[in-house]
Homo-oligomer: A and B are copies of this chain.
Amino acid sequence: MATHTSNPEYHHGNLRQALLDAGEKLLESVGVDGLTLRGLARETGVSHAAPYRHFADKADLLAALAARGFDRLARALVATAGEHAGDPRGEYLASCRRYIELGRKHPAMYRLMFGQPQPGVGDQPELAAAGQAAFDALTAAMRRGVAAGLYRDASIETLAMAVWALVHGLTELAIAGRLGLCGEGDAGRLSEDACALLLRGIGTSRPGA
């Protein structure tokens, strides 16, 4: 009833974005398990059912968050490529570093991104597109490397997947805290070395490293 009459803030204006913003924040502070729809609503100052006007259910909101994550990842890769134009080897190493850093800085988000159930048919077009964009940035980089003679002339898909898998694995292991299992492990250095080893495997044999 007259809980509040003519409240100028009855309608939030842009609740959807606000929820996603708060979601990212909560993600990092309390993890995926601590991320609750009601908590999100509280954080945003709306009632507990308000999110349902913008998201079908919790999974839908999580998918939207994951899409944001992929978007950031794709942007970071494209930016890195721009910073190393004409230097595919430098681009490779910088991209690997940046990818892993991004994952380690936002572990909950990173896990969320790859924990999403594969978007079905018409489900989550945003998420599918963002994920595809990130993958496209990677394949484009590989294509440039092949053109420049840095990588051996293998299937682009194979090259891209090998790189992605290694970097993804390093990121996940780092997040899981398993990169330091080996006595004294500087996780950063281990990652660099592993990436260099793979480069040796996928590269043309010329530049003896």
Q: A-side interface residues toward B, CB under 8 Å?
A: 111, 114-116, 118, 131-132, 135, 139, 154-162, 164-170, 172-173, 176-179, 181-183, 185, 190, 193-194, 197-202, 205
Chain B residues whose C-beta falls within 8 Å of the C-beta of A161 in the assembled complex? 170, 173, 179, 182, 185, 190, 194
A89 to chain B: closest CB distance in Å? 14
Interface contact A194-B135, CB-CB below 8 Å: no
Chain B residues whose C-beta falls within 8 Å of the C-beta of A199 in the assembled complex? 201
Name the CB-closest residue of B to A151.
B197
Chain B residues whose C-beta falls within 8 Å of the C-beta of A176 in the assembled complex? 114-116, 118
Interface contact A197-B202, CB-CB below 8 Å: yes
Q: Which of B154, B165, B172 contacts A114 (CB 8 A)?
A: B172
Q: Roughly how many angstroms separate A158 CA and B186 CA in the complex, as a whole number?
A: 11
Q: What DSSP secondary structure best describes chain A's contact surface?
A: helix
How many monomers of this protein are in the complex? 2
Q: Roughly how many angstroms separate A158 CA and B188 CA in the complex, as a whole number?
A: 11
Q: Which of B159, B164, B198 contacts A173 (CB 8 A)?
A: B164
Chain B residues whose C-beta falls within 8 Å of the C-beta of A164 in the assembled complex? 169, 173
Chain B residues whose C-beta falls within 8 Å of the C-beta of A172 in the assembled complex? 114, 168-169, 172
Chain B residues whose C-beta falls within 8 Å of the C-beta of A179 in the assembled complex? 161
Q: Which of B165, B190, B201 contacts A157 (CB 8 A)?
A: B190
Q: Roughly how many angstroms separate A159 CA and B176 CA in the complex, as a whole number?
A: 19
Q: Which of B160, B177, B185, B193 contacts A118 (CB 8 A)?
A: B177
A136 to chain B: closest CB distance in Å? 9
Given contacts A118-B178, A158-B190, A201-B202, 19 further A-B contacts (CB under 8 A): A111-B115, A114-B172, A114-B178, A115-B176, A155-B193, A158-B193, A158-B194, A159-B197, A161-B182, A161-B194, A162-B193, A164-B169, A166-B169, A168-B169, A168-B172, A169-B169, A197-B202, A200-B200, A201-B201
